[in-house]
Structure 1
Amino acid sequence: MLRKILNIAYIVFFTQILYANESRILRLSNNDGLSNSSITTIFQDSNRLIWVGTWDGLNVYNGAEFENYRSNRQDSSSITNPVIRQIFEENKNILWITTDYGINRFNIATKKFQPYYLGYKDKETFREHSFLATRNSEGLILAASYKSGIYKFNTKSEDFGPFSIPEIDKNNIIQLFFDSSDNLWIVNDKNEIFRLKIKSDKITEKQKITPPADFLHLCYDKKEKIWFQYENYTLGYYSIQTEKFSDWGSKPYGELNEVLENEGNILFATNTGLIQYNKHTKTESILLSGIPVLSVYSGTQDILWVGTDSQGIYRILPPQNYFNTFTSNNIPELGNYAVRAIYKDAENKLWIGTKGGGVISITYLGATLQQARKFTTDDGLINNSVFSLAQGPNQDFWIGTDNKGLNYYSFQEKKIKSLKSNRIFNIRQICSVYALLQADDSTLWVGTSGNGLFKMTIFRTPKGEYEIKNYKHYKYNSQSNNSINNNVIYSLAIEGDSILWIATRGGGINRMNIKREYFTAYKNDKSDINTISSNDVICLYIDNKKRIWAGTTAGLNLLTEENGKVRIKRYTEKEGLANSNIHGILEDRTHHIWISTNKGISRMNPEQEQFVHYFYNEGLQDNEFSDGAYLSFSEGQELYFGGVNGFSVFHPDQIGMSNYNPPLYLNSFKIDNIDQPLNLKNDHPISYKQNSLSFHFSI
């Protein structure tokens, strides 16, 4: 019986989800598959694969895993030595790797190494950096070995021959490289430096460069400067364009290993860390400290790959300061209390309700805090756990707390006051207020945690205080077919002046026809995917198209009406959410939906159903956010989300999306788990006796 098993394994895959970078710094070490954690050199090839040289072999990283190539003296097609010094590309199929014993031409498709010893065949050499190689933009490849001269690679014969350079001691070369203008630089062990111009494999100009002082190290920054570290550890550089030397100040650096100019920055890799100098602001910052950095490479998407001595690789993504975050570090008044409510008053003063720490008023300009003041029970609050803040009449606002009663802030008197009982209503019926909604100048809706829903008509007395004119209490009634179906209410949203949407914890969503006082419930049915994802509903939002968004502890739900019938669509982690425990929902002015969760914030394009996720390491207060702590200001131009460690504010239109489109690369083809050549140009016959076929891709 013919048996065919197709097993295609994708290391990375394409879905609807577009991820923002979850972390700014990622460390990769021996635990992640590196052959050794001391990194000597890093290179990214045309296929976007990262090649890593170490003290114990060559590695290639495809974004998900490492593949190792080690030296094996019993295998002539393996790499010649475990200590890797240089990696560069001849073309997308061929790499060159220099080691402490031999130069290797590596065929990526066949995974075979062709060794070149430049006069040291069958001879031992124990000197570090004995072999050097370099390539210019025209494809000329030159190589050198210590005390054996300079060689040129012949692409036709695939072998090296001597390359004559008159009047230069070629036997003691310690550095050999082409700069970006195809000048050849030669440094010998006497610290003599030569610059040569080569055209059509011929030397057209030769110049000796004499530094102003004796130097310890020379590094080329891959742009237009040759850097020198002098004996007192200060730096200077030679400009290739101006052909002049300049000092780089008197500040001493650690021992210099490499210099890289990248996107307006100069990076100095030293034995004490990685230093970044910003050419525009003329300021320095320390990217890594206390770690010897041996190599640094700038890859695609401006990602820095940093090789260290014994600590593996650090992948550093460019900073994205999209989020302004406020915690107890910059607002001590916040303390260690979770943020549970956010409101902005008529003076643009921010009010933050906390769980246990009262309410805090904050005046700030941009990211700069101007003033913060805490209000607690000593200042008139009924309770220090503040769960809701909402606009009231006359520029005042309402404050719901975890106790019996209701507070409001008098804008005129600048103080917190309490709504009082009268002969019509005992205010102590209101307790644990989680939802507040001022429908018009006189109508206030109050949702409680345990005592249902209140509709109150409020008026202001001549003394400026608020009183209750009349009220209605809506509570679950098991004997009635027309009542709210749960007394724990967490969110309210009003549609026009006739429909009130009510989020309950345990009863799903209630839709109330205000005039008819008629309730319709939308609940979860485990057997019907066209129902809401959970009856535990935390938040509600009505967008610009009058669609209802409901956040639950088990996903996001979209309610739309078609031909008089409500249709429900669920979104969970399966559909692209970072996390299904939803705490808040907002819309920006470009009509993207923003969702705070237990694992960061998600931005959703509702038309394309695409998600982008943002996390703590990108500047958020934490990955965990809080129920009810969200606010949209200036028609969605400024959004606020609060959580367990403070709150974050951002402008959605300032958050850019990367246009980088990574190529899909086939890095492994196996039959019965045995690697096959990747340079297949024709059909590859597969026997019926072979059980499995697998392809591994990376981007």
Structure 2
Amino acid sequence: MRPRAARRLFPLGFLAAVLVARAGAQVLPFEVLGLEEGLPQSQVADVAQDADGYLWVATWGGLARYDGESFTPFFVGQGLPSNRVQELLLDRGGVLWIATGSGLSVWRDRRLAPVSNPNLDGQRCRALAEDGEGRLWVGSDSGVLVREGEGFRPVGPAGGIVYDLFPDRGAMLAATAGGLLRLAADGAVELLPTPPLPPDTLRAVARTADGLWLGTAAQGVFLEAAGGWRPVPPPEIAGRNVYRFVVGASGTFYVATQDGGLSRKPPGGARFEHLSTANGMPTDVVSTAFEDAEGNLWIGTDIGGLVRALGEGASHHGVRGEFPSPCVFGIAPGGSADSLWVATLRGAVHYQVRPHCRVLETVGAREGLRDQHVWKVVTTPEGELWVQTETIYQVRPPGADRFAELPPSVPAPQTTQDIAVDAAGRLWLAGYDPAHGVAMRDRSGRWHAWSASDDGVDVRRCRVVAPRRSGEVLVATGREILVSDGERLRRHCDPPPLAGTYISALFEDSRGRLWAGNDAGLARRETDGRWRLLNDEPGLASHHVFFAGESRDGTVWIGTARGAYRFLPGGRVEPFTLDDGLAGLEANQFGFFADPAGEVWIGTVAGLTRFDPAGRHENAVPPRLVVESAGLPTRSIAYPAALDLGWRERTIDFRVAVLAFRNHARAAFRARLDGLENAWLPLRRPGELRYTNLSPGSYRLLLQAANESGVWAEKVALPIRVHPPWWQTVWFRVAAAAAALALAVGIHRARTLALRRRNEELARAVEARTAELRAANAELEHLATHEPLTGRWNRRAILEQLRAHLAPRGTASRRFGCLLVDLDGFKRVNDTCGHAAGDRVLAAAAEQLARSTREHDLVGRYGGDEFLLLLPDADRDAVTAVAERVGRIQIHEGEGAGALTVTASCGGVAVAAGAGLDETAVLAAADALLYRVKQAGGRGALIETLAPAPGDPPAVPAASEPGP
């Protein structure tokens, strides 16, 4: 056992909130990672975090590195002397040491390698520790070794099994088969007194502020304090078979047992708290515990895999059979501030939540419920208990033990939709009924029912009644929102801007804003009376709204079919999902309640969630970002610090890891390639980042990661240089110029030497040589203006042609046509058939484009799978004719079921003479038309005319017409 050094500070309240195991029926949320997620083996012996931020998991079937997305396994032959990994240690220099069943390995400079030493080779290494001087100690089946320089030397008696090591006051404590030893680096050995124990019983040792701790096999835990040893029996520590002690970065003391789960004691704590199957753990066989840099608690189990405690301040209720059904439809106040009424799929539960959680009463068919599908339960000031089920309203009078059906005199709607008690104690019912859709009973017992509002709105089909803070009640019928003071019922405001025909969630927050939702979205009416549709609000990922409510800290909660969403007082929207401790993703219509203690209760189809906002802390730890690899066409570079690439390597696939584990599903990064991009790309999930067809030059890739709390890490910069092809290099141009000069000098000398004797022959020779020079220059010009794959004009040359057409000739520029062409489905060819197939498609496309144009038209490759066509002296009809032929282009690649077809989309402009445009305006107009074609499904063309506005030289677009 060894203490874990904290690399960065983190909020200690997180662990306290996660681990508090209050008595009763609550279950804490956990994430379990096992074989299906890529763990090499389910027996997890230890966990550590390296200097980059990766999580390392030691199993008895190999070593694994975890980045939050997937595991990367390491086995024998990849740097491990044995697949049985016993323990991990990150030293103060950032080096990760791995103890295995057959020696030691080390992860240094992002490489895993075995440690070769005659004292370690073939030895089962069980324990690792680092002393105050930074020396590494190793406990093996043959004794203790200490690292000096690059070697290891034995310390203390040889031949005994060492189970655990712990640095203590300038020395090292060792729990061995022969007892408890205190070892000094100079070789001094002291056998320390221990409680009377059977031989070979010690398994773990640690020292905390409470004293010296000993863990044993089957004999439990002992503490030496105040001069003597005392046992620490269950239930103070849940288990007697100790596997490991861990002192976490927070100072928390963990006891991992093989028969009672995990016990922990925070610094200064008076007692141990327990994590076991009783409160949600998948197993009670625990090997280790680890606190990472963000404060996440990771638990290694035997056979159960790697477990992570989820959800600060969250717990689950009703998921272990204590409720008649885990599907919770509604939550309402109980008979006191410390109890709730919970409506479920198979009855209702009166549930005590403080000081301990327990079921006080369950009501169902035996208690007179005609329908056990209970949607909502409310209590009136008179002590009546009203139940809304799928088909009927029923009531239980004070002192009665059974529910009664309503007498015919009560104007309850035939189809139940909602029930509520307002601030004045009046009872409201809403539903569908041919006679009336909303009914109210005042405190005197008098009923009042409405079939229409005072201003003529039909209210026979009401879905929601929502009490206001003013004492009035809001009523939703269809998309209309009405308000009533108990006497009058009138229209309250304009309908919200929601699709659909009804409102299913209605709520007024403490700021006076009105929230309305249905299965098509969410809208909010501001205090100035204007509605705002929130479907596009950043962070709101589901538009199927079930409930809206507010917690006491001013946060508005929206329950949806894909989790809950918190609209924080500052305006940010934050998801609340399974990773945050939600029992199930799908919420229910009445499944929200904020109790007087400030806690939030959420009903889902998979259980009841309890959440204490005060126990939730922002993740202030910036995430780490690592570029794991750069994939090139013919090779891959691991952990690149800079890239120096040839011309044929200008397509790069980066693998980017964001090492944030608190809520990895919401961790993201952004990217910007300086030299190509002027703005950041949108946030994206960790994974692939691809750049293709980079032009020669120098670039700098900037990457920046953010965690789920919006905390940004420092930028990571990766320099990239792409070399030009040989024919674009300076040396080639100099050599070509030198060759031309040498040729000219040679011709001149030959002419001078033979001038007197062969004047005519020299003239013919000069002519021949001049012709060769012209041909060489023509070839150079072709190479400089055409790109090799398609044989068409390259981007620079075609843009020069465009500028030439835009340049004034006399007093005005000449007319011409400009087409931008994009290949539909080209990326699928590259991804499915490979880049060679993509090159064939590009070449074929260029050929078909050339056949689609007129004899004197120009075809150039604009970039990637885009082409630019210039049509000199073309009017709109000529441009349209060419565009239509382009729109009919088809290129087929592959055979059989895997065959793919690539088509072309085209956007073009007919530029009138004297339009007075620059290339940016022409290209922007053509690109906008191309974008419209792509949005419409591709394979077609749109053409516009760019002509000068009357009295003004700049051109304006004329009416457009669709292509084929």
Q: Do the structures match in fold with TM over 0.5?
A: yes
Residue 160 of structure 1 corresponds to 151
Mapping for residues 159-308 of structure 1, pairs under 5 Å:
159-160=150-151, 162=153, 168-170=156-158, 174=162, 177-185=165-173, 191=178, 194-198=181-185, 202=186, 206-211=189-194, 212-224=196-208, 225=212, 227=214, 229=216, 233-235=218-220, 237=222, 239=224, 245-248=229-232, 256-260=242-246, 266-270=254-258, 272=259, 274-276=261-263, 280-281=270-271, 286=276, 293-300=286-293, 303-308=296-301
Task: Sort the Cα spacing of 1:268 and 1:343 in 2 relative to 1 into closer, same or farther, 3 A.
Answer: closer
- 2:451 maps to what in 1? 473
Matching of residues 388-427 of structure 1 within 5 Å: 418=406, 421=409
Contact kept in structure 1, 2:139 and 2:165, CA below 8 Å: no
Q: After superposition, give the CA deviation of every residue in 1:489-524 in whole Å (9 maximum; x if it has no partner).
A: 2213467989975434xx43445799895586636x
Contact in 2 for aligned 1:56/1:83 (Cα 8 Å): yes
Counterpart AA for 1:117:
N
CA contact (8 A) 2:331 2:601 kept: no
Matched, 1:575 2:539: yes
How many Å apart are 1:184 and its aligned residue?
Answer: 2.3
Among candidates 23, 26, 41, match of residue 31 of structure 2: 26
Cα 1:328–1:273 shift into 2, 3 Å: closer
Counterpart contact for 2:47–2:298, Cα < 8 Å: yes
Distance 1:377 1:541 in 2: 35
* Residues 364, 371 of structure 1: 8 Å contact kept: no
The one-letter code sitting in structure 2 at the alignment partner of 1:589 is: R
C-alpha displacement at 1:540, in angstroms?
Answer: 0.1
Distance 1:610 1:151, change over 3 A: same
Residue in 2 that maps onto 1:128? 124
After TM superposition, the structure 1 stretch with the greater mean CA deviation from structure 2, 549-558 or 671-680, is 671-680
Q: 2 CA distance for matches of 1:256 and 1:378? A: 49
CA RMSD of aligned residues (A): 5.2
Change (3 A) 1:143 1:126: closer
Out of 306, 311, 314, the position equivalent to 1:314 is 306
Q: Distance in 1 between matches of 2:147 and 2:412?
A: 92
Across the two proteins, how many residue pairs are aligned to each other? 617
Aligned to 2:628: 668
- The one-letter code sitting in structure 1 at the alignment partner of 2:256 is F
User: Residue 522 of structure 2 corresponds to which residue in structure 1?
Assistant: 556
Confirm whether residue 656 of structure 1 aligns to residue 630 of structure 2: no
Tell me by how many angstroms 1:556 deviates: 3.0
Structure 2 counterpart of 1:4 = none
Aligned to 1:532: 498
138, 150, 161: which one pairs with 2:133?
Answer: 138
Return closer, same or farther for 1:160/1:598 CA change in 2, 3 Å cut-off: same
User: Matched residues in 2 for 1:162 and 1:410: separation?
Assistant: 82
AA aligned to 1:566 is: W
Q: 2-side partners of 1:175 and 1:378: how far apart? A: 60
Change over 3 Å in CA distance of 1:92–1:585 after alignment to 2: farther
Which residue in the other structure is 1:13 paired with? Answer: none
State the AA in 2 paired with 1:98. A
Could you say what secondary structure the match of 1:490 adopts? strand
Deviations, residues 364-388 of structure 1 (Å, cap 9, x unaligned): 8654669548598997x89776656
| Aligned partner of residue 689 in structure 1, secondary structure | helix
Give the corresponding residue for 2:737: none
Are the equivalent residues in 2 in contact too, given 1:218–1:226 (CA < 8 A)? no
- Relative contact order: is structure 1 or structure 2 higher (C-alpha 8 Å, sep ≥ 6)? 1
Are the equivalent residues in 2 in contact too, given 1:151–1:162 (CA < 8 A)?
yes
The offset of 1:401, in angstroms, is 6.2
Aligned to 1:57: 62
**Alignment match of 2:479 (pick from 504, 508, 517):** 508
TM-superposed CA distance for 1:70, in Å, is: 2.4
The 1:264–1:67 alpha-carbon spacing in structure 2 relative to 1, beyond 3 Å, is: closer
Identity rate of aligned residues, in percent? Answer: 13
Paired amino acid for 1:656: R
Write 1 or 2 for the structure with the bigger share of strand: 1
**In structure 1, what is the equivalent of residue 464 of structure 2?**
491
User: Given the superposition, is the C-alpha separation of residues 234 and 672 from structure 1 closer, same or farther in structure 2, using an over 3 Å criterion?
Assistant: same
Residues 53-87 of structure 1: per-residue CA shift (max 9 Å, x gap): 33443221122211122232xx8xx3344333332
C-alpha contact 1:57 1:70 (8 A) present in aligned 2: yes
Instruction: Report deviation, 1:320.
Output: 5.9
Q: 2:311 touches 2:579 (CA, 8 Å); kept in 1?
A: no
1:613/1:96 CA distance change after superposition, 3 Å: same
C-alpha contact 1:511 1:520 (8 A) present in aligned 2: yes
Aligned partner of 1:627 among 573, 583, 589: 589
Q: Deviations over 1:555-591 (max 9, x none)?
A: 43222254x643332268x7245x5433222212221
Contact 2:128 2:137 in 1 (8 A): yes
CA distance in 2, matches of 1:329, 1:498: 39
- What residue in structure 2 maps to residue 89 of structure 1? 90
How far apart are residue 407 of structure 1 and its match? 6.8
Q: 1:8 aligns to what?
A: none
Three-state SS of the structure 1 residue aligned to 2:534 is strand
- The residue type paired with residue 116 of structure 1 is S
**Partners of 2:636 and 2:585 in 1: how far apart?**
41
Q: Any idea what the Cα deviations from partners look like across 1:610-640, whole Å, max 9, x if unmatched?
A: 32525599485x6544323545555x84655
Partner residue in 1 for 2:117:
117
1:447 Cα deviation after fit: 3.1
Match of 2:845 in 1: none
Q: TM-score, normalised by structure 1?
A: 0.70
| CA distance in structure 2 between the aligned counterparts of 1:296 and 1:343, rounded to whole angstroms | 39
1:596, CA displacement in angstroms? 3.4
Amino acid at match of 1:160: G
Report the CA distance shift for 1:107/1:126 in structure 2 as closer, same or farther (over 3 A). closer
Q: How high is the TM-score relative to the length of structure 2?
A: 0.53
Matching of residue 544 in structure 1 with residue 510 in structure 2 = yes
SS at match of 1:216: coil
Structure 2: distance between partners of 1:554 and 1:30: 39
Secondary structure of the equivalent of 2:36?
Answer: helix
- In 2, the alpha carbon distance for the partners of 1:221 and 1:151 equals 18
Equivalent residue for 2:842? Answer: none
Match of 2:573 among 607, 610, 615: 610
AA partner of residue 153 (structure 1) = E
Gaps of 5+ in 2: 1-13, 19-26, 661-964
CA distance in 2, matches of 1:412, 1:161: 79
The structure having more radius of gyration, on CA atoms, is 2
Residues 521 and 217 from structure 1, CA distance in 2 versus in 1: closer, same or farther, beyond 3 angstroms?
A: same
Which residue identity lines up with residue 694 of structure 1 in the other structure?
F
Letter in structure 2 aligned against 1:670: A
Name the CA shift for 1:541/1:61 in 2 (closer, same or farther; >3 Å).
same
1:687/1:595 CA distance change after superposition, 3 Å: same
Q: 1:118, 1:145 within 8 Å by CA — same for their partners in 2?
A: no
Question: Which amino acid in 1 is paired with 2:309?
Answer: L
Cα deviation for residue 548 of structure 1 reads: 1.1
Is the contact between residue 599 and residue 624 of structure 1 (CA under 8 Å) also seen in structure 2? yes
Structure 1, unmatched stretches of 5+, are 1-17, 422-426, 476-480, 524-530
C-alpha separation in 1, matches of 2:490 and 2:379:
24
Deviations for 1:452-503, whole angstroms, at most 9, x for unmatched residues? 865668678xxx65255xx64229xxxxx9745x854221346798997543
Specify whether residues 452 and 320 from structure 1 end up closer, same or farther in structure 2 by C-alpha distance, changes over 3 A only: farther
- 2:104 — aligned with what? 103
Quickly say closer, same or farther: Cα 1:501–1:678, change in 2 above 3 A. Answer: same
